[in-house]
Amino acid sequence: MEVKVLGAANEVGRSGFLVNCDGTNLLLDYGVLFGKRGMPPEYPLHVKPKDLDAIIITHAHLDHSGNVPSLFVSGNTDVYATPPTFDLTRLLIEDMLKITKDAQPFGLPELNNMMRNAKEIGYREKITKGNATFELRETGHVIGGGSVLIESQKKRLFYTGDIKTHGSRMLREADLDVGDIDLLIIESTYSQTEQKPRKESERELIEFANEVIDRKGVLFIPSFSVERSQEMACILRSSNFKHKIIMDGMALKVNEIMFNHPDYLRDPKVFADAINQAVAVKDHEKRKHAIEEPCVVISPAGMLVGGNATYYLQELSFNSNNGIALVSYQGEGTPGKKLLDTKKVSTRGKDLSVAAEVKQFEFSGHSDRNELFEVIKKIKGNPKVLTVHGDTESCRKFAQEIHEKFGFEAHAPDVNEVISI
Over the stretch 193-218, which tens digit does the pLDDT of each residue have?
999 999 999 999 999 999 999 999 99
Average pLDDT of the residues in 121-137: 98
At residue 395, φ and ψ (nearest 5 deg) are -70, -45
pLDDT value at residue 62:
95
Which residues, in sequence order, are bridge partners of residue 79? 55, 118
What confidence score (pLDDT) does residue 349 get? Answer: 79
Specify the domain boundaries for CATH 3.40.50.10890 within the chain. Answer: 198-360
Q: Distance between CA 308 and CA 249 in Å, rounded?
A: 6
Residue 38: pLDDT over 70: no
Share of the chain above pLDDT 70, in %: 99
* For residue 306, pLDDT beyond 90: no
Report the distance separating Cα 247 and Cα 10, nearest Å: 36
pLDDT on residue 35: 72
pLDDT band at 103 (very low <50, low <70, confident <90, very high): confident
Element (H, E) at 399: helix 392-406
Question: By mean pLDDT, which of 35-39, 153-157, 276-280, 380-384 is the weakest?
Answer: 35-39
Answer whether CATH 3.30.70.20 is correct for domain 2-193+365-420: no
Q: Mean pLDDT of all residues in the chain?
A: 94
Instruction: Find the mean pLDDT for residues 360-375.
Output: 96
**Which pLDDT band holds residue 333 (cuts at 50, 70, 90)?**
confident
Mean pLDDT of 298-310: 84
**HEC profile for 38-100?**
CCCCECCCCCCHHHCCEEECCCCCHHHHCCHHHHHCCCCCCEEECHHHHHHHHHHHHHHHHHH
Question: Is the pLDDT assigned to residue 188 strictly greater than 80?
Answer: yes
Q: Which fold has domain 198-360?
A: Rossmann fold (3.40.50)
Q: How far does Cα 38 stand from its chain's mean position?
A: 23
Tell me the whole-structure pTM to 2 decimals.
0.95
pLDDT on residue 37: 67
What's the confidence (pLDDT) of residue 305? 82
pLDDT at res. 419: 98
Look at residue 413 and tell me whether its pLDDT is greater than 90. yes
Is residue 115 helix, strand or coil?
helix
| Span(s) in the chain for CATH 3.60.15.10 | 2-193+365-420
What was the pLDDT predicted at 1?
97
What is the per-residue pLDDT for 348? 75
Cα-based angle 68, 73, 75 (whole degrees, multiple of 5):
90
Percent of the chain's residues with pLDDT above 90 = 85
What pLDDT, on the 0 to 100 scale, is given for residue 302? Answer: 81
For residue 322, which of 352, 278, 355 has the smallest C-alpha distance? 355
Q: How confident is the model at residue 255 (pLDDT cuts 50, 70, 90)?
A: very high
